[in-house]
Structure 1
């Protein structure tokens, strides 16, 4: 972090290829430095930093509580906003530096001990620090960052082609196009979803040709974190989860990995609301069967076996189920074992650190909830293989935590 002559604080990272420091972004503000809790997305935080990543674009929000592990919060921030993992140490160090001296319930301006203790403050890359435990994961993750302009432009373009080709039976009429425009504005400004918008997106992903559904599914996964998504009920009583799964696995068309990835992100994002978590729990059998299909456990070969986006969506969904099990003590013994097998199967031979990290956190959180569920499974074998294949210290660290919990 560098304080510029104009008073701005900029974040930089070293580029080995260019042999120079690259400006990552400008830290605009640190709401919360007064010591008062700050509301963001319905939750209270000690800090909400504004970070400019790209000129001309609104700053990104970086919320943080002093009780959190800076490394975990930095990881969530990067993946929520689809930023490169190479920024991880930068963001985590920024959090550590800009909350230094603050203690729980006090402002950053008040003198006080390190909230983790002088010898146990977590610093990225120092995996041996005591008190740096990751497991169990207690917060649900989402994959919500979106480029709305590109998504909605694509939908309007496809619709225009449908109208010109005579497909007016499924094309959007002017009134529906107006609703779609209102939906884009609502998503961009975090306003309430307009009436009829969810039903309109369901129409796109169910009635449009399979090859044209992807942008509609992208919008659907963005809507999944809203309570109204979990409250949806179709003409035959189908839920939004039923819709997302069925439209991505066609019986007559070749399977599209990106479609499956968007449907899996929809499942992951349902955990963003209490209603969504209730839906995921009540429809756990169908959701777990879907994840088994992705992992190649049933129904055919694995989908996107080495497709990073598919795998991260799968692991995030499994991780959210693990958090649900840990926090709410839900799902049956059989369902929990199946989740463990899904993660263990999908992580085999993987080398991507983010995929492995999320997989291990999911496993470890399940073990923390009920280690007996893993009896007879080769959990330690899976974890040791992941530790050997991962090339980041955080993977090795959480792997060791898993091994300490595995039966």
Structure 2
């Protein structure tokens, strides 16, 4: 079949990560959804002399990967995300018009139904949903694994097709499955209508299948040797696919032959036809590419050359090139072999570069009637795939110590791993990259552990890689406290306690005193000391008590989960790298009970582990992905009254220490920045009503918040911290504590007072606005009325004098 070949028209750059989905509006505007959690709208230019497309709008609202986008017949935009939400967008204002909630896992597909005006969504929670004006009217339950695609038949009957990781396709009438289509040997990822015939399906088995609605498979086409991620039907009747193998391919619908194969620099996740006959593809390199058959719209020669060079620069593993024949990279033909034309579109040939001797892969193009370079071949045909075979493997352009084959529901996926990496972290990142269900985490991690004998994860060490400071320093085993106030309120003296009592004097060993610096060099402050073995013993004791009570038994951890929680405490004790499984167990998201849901009387040791966890640099990615956000979860746990109650006091202290540590660790600081008001809202009661230990923790949170205000210029995108409202809130808290809490002047409270004074000093150092606010709040009068106790340390006096002098100077200038 002789047709005009598609050529590059434009490259759309702007996303920070993979483009996972792509669609188009009726006016030709492209919609892209990315792993960077945003959507972008790309307007076609009316002037051919200008850039073909410009980004007209970036839509932010999702908190996780955007896995699916679609346009509605009315010109609207839909998106689905790993945050479990579907969003209907108001593209005029650029904000969500409606958020559809109900799915219990990532949303993998969204689709409008033109005939009914309803919206459809599919999810990893094994269901699809039908929505009408924001309300779920049907939940399609019947698949045994994640649902990857949902497609309305648009025949006026309301019937819907779904495709699933259980390798089946189902036809639904309302919420009833009326037919199941069986044929694919692997995950079915994509569906497309074929008018007058039925529909197409694409699968991880590398095939596309044409079906009629009676259930008969009319044709099977081997579209790729790897996963087929997307299939479309063009207005011309041609089929279009995109695949893991970096290609977009066009297929003759009559013969099933490949018409054109377009190689990209990386995996092609999505493709779509455009109203003007062009095509668009979304790539793992973060770019979208537009392709055209119109000679007048083809990109300039330099742009075409740059794209081809980008494609040719990709490293290709030899084992992926070998196919059914052995690829001996040591005995390859010379470039003269390229004189002979190829026999079919997309045919591959490997030859030796005449200059460097490097094996190079070429692909035959019927359109150009030439061999086009698609990458450099590295390694040998025997590389990779072995479980524990040593030696570097090349995968995704990087070298790895191991390259495993992992079978997920029959799908064979490549899992790279380097010695020294944390198996659970590697497994989690691999699950995210391949959109594999979270339930496989333990199995994948255990596979790595079993097949990497002698692997020891490299510990994160005591140095915070973001600040060069000590992010986490376990307490020496001999550390102890002697204050009578430290007796555990639940058990006898000497048992585990959350240290909510009065801190020792300056000569003591309280961890919070150890980081004092001159005021001009005040650092963020953390609470990082802990008796880890005692914490673990208390966790085990409380878990056993919960299990023994019929009412609380459902909250107790089983033996395996308790062992995993114990491993987390031990990892934190030695400063090692935490795993995704450990974090998931502590904070929820797994299949079992969550310790954060324990009753308040048993909660404080869980929170004590959490305040250490947030200091671990390797935990930051997991904490940032939590839903609901960690700050909100902690704020809900914060007692709002009766802080003299021992249970309330223990929980309040741990919550405040968690807040302080989250702000201390630069890797998690942005979580506090984005919810600073929510954190500050919890401080008034602890400062006014709490014990000296709780007041110290709250004063530390306040100081760390002020330090965040000071450094807000380096926290890109977090402009909320510049708001006058937050400055007023922090200064108001300081003013209240200085004027209305007499206990702040006790000798035993001097460390809390010192941190409060440094907080004020930090705030008024921000400029004229905070100077003025401090004067309006009568902070100078509150400071002047402070009666310092005998024996107050010099640092208290010096800081107080500096703050008063600064405020007096500001006042004289007004």
Q: TM-score range by the shorter chain?
A: 0.5 to 0.7
The corresponding residue for 1:405 is: 806
In structure 2, the CA distance between the partners of 1:41 and 1:277, relative to structure 1 (3 Å rule), is closer
Structure 1 match to 2:611: 221
Which one of the candidate residues 195, 208, 213 is aligned to 2:580? 195
Task: Say yes or no: does 1:165 pair with 2:549.
Answer: yes
CA distance in 1, matches of 2:640, 2:779: 33
Tell me which stretches of 4 or more aligned residues in structure 1 moved more than 6 Å: 250-255
Query: TM-score, with normalisation over the residues of structure 1?
Result: 0.63
In the other structure, the counterpart of 2:727 is: 336
Report the counterpart of residue 311 of structure 2 in structure 1.
none
| Partner SS for 1:139 | coil
Q: 1:353 aligns with which of 739, 745, 750?
A: 750
Any conservation in 2 of the 1:245–1:290 contact (CA below 8 Å)? yes
- 1:388 counterpart (780, 783, 788): 788
2:612 and 2:786 map into 1 onto residues whose CA distance is 31
- Summarize deviations over 1:86-107 as a string: whole Å, max 9, x none: 259xxx9xx9xxxxxxxxxxxx
Cα separation, 1, equivalents of 2:758 and 2:601? 34
Instruction: Work out the CA distance in 1 between the residues paired with 2:611 and 2:463.
Output: 21
Q: What is residue 378 of structure 1 aligned with on the other side?
A: 778
Query: Which residue of structure 1 aligns with residue 634 of structure 2?
Result: 244
Alpha-carbon separation, structure 1, partners of 2:799 and 2:665? 27
Whether the 8 Å CA contact 1:231–1:275 is kept in 2: the answer is no
**Rounded Cα–Cα distance in structure 2 between residues aligned with 1:229 and 1:214:** 22
Q: CA deviation at 1:41?
A: 3.8
CA distance in 2 between counterparts of 1:385 and 1:176 reads 54
**Mapping of 1:3-402 within 5 angstroms?**
40-42=463-465, 44=468, 57=478, 84-86=505-507, 134-166=518-550, 167-203=552-588, 204-227=594-617, 228-229=619-620, 231-232=622-623, 237-249=627-639, 256-295=648-687, 302-304=688-690, 307-329=691-713, 330-347=721-738, 348-349=741-742, 350=744, 351=746, 352-373=749-770, 374-386=774-786, 388-389=788-789, 391-402=792-803
Higher helix share: 1
Q: Is the radius of gyration larger for structure 1 or structure 2?
A: 2
Alpha-carbon separation, structure 2, partners of 1:339 and 1:310: 18
CA distance in 2, matches of 1:375, 1:334: 16
TM-score (norm 2): 0.33
In structure 2, the CA distance between the partners of 1:388 and 1:190, relative to structure 1 (3 Å rule), is same
Preserved contact between residue 624 and residue 668 of structure 2 (Cα < 8 Å):
no
Q: Deviations over 1:183-227 (max 9, x none)?
A: 111111000113322232235553211211111111111112235
Unaligned residue ranges in structure 2 (runs of 5+):
1-460, 480-502, 589-593, 714-720
Q: Can you list the C-alpha shifts for 1:28-72, whole angstroms capped at 9, x where unaligned?
A: xxxxxxxxxx98343558xx9xx9x97x749xxxxxxxxxxxxxx
Residues paired across the two proteins, number: 291
Q: 1:232 to 1:251 in 2, by over 3 A?
A: farther
C-alpha separation in 1, matches of 2:563 and 2:731: 45
Two-structure CA RMSD over aligned residues (Å) = 3.4
1:226–1:287 Cα change, 3 Å: same
CA contact (8 A) 1:224 1:267 kept: no
User: Do the aligned partners of residues 287 and 356 (structure 1) sit closer, same or farther apart at CA in structure 2, a change above 3 Å counting?
Assistant: same
Question: How big is each residue's C-alpha offset from its partner over 1:319-344, in whole Å with a ceiling of 9 and x where there is no partner?
Answer: 11111111224341121121111122
Unaligned 5+ segments in structure 1 are 1-37, 59-81, 96-123, 125-132, 296-301
Q: CA–CA distance in 1 between the matches of 2:521 and 2:676?
A: 20
Indicate the structure whose relative CO is greater, using CA pairs within 8 Å and at least 6 residues apart.
1
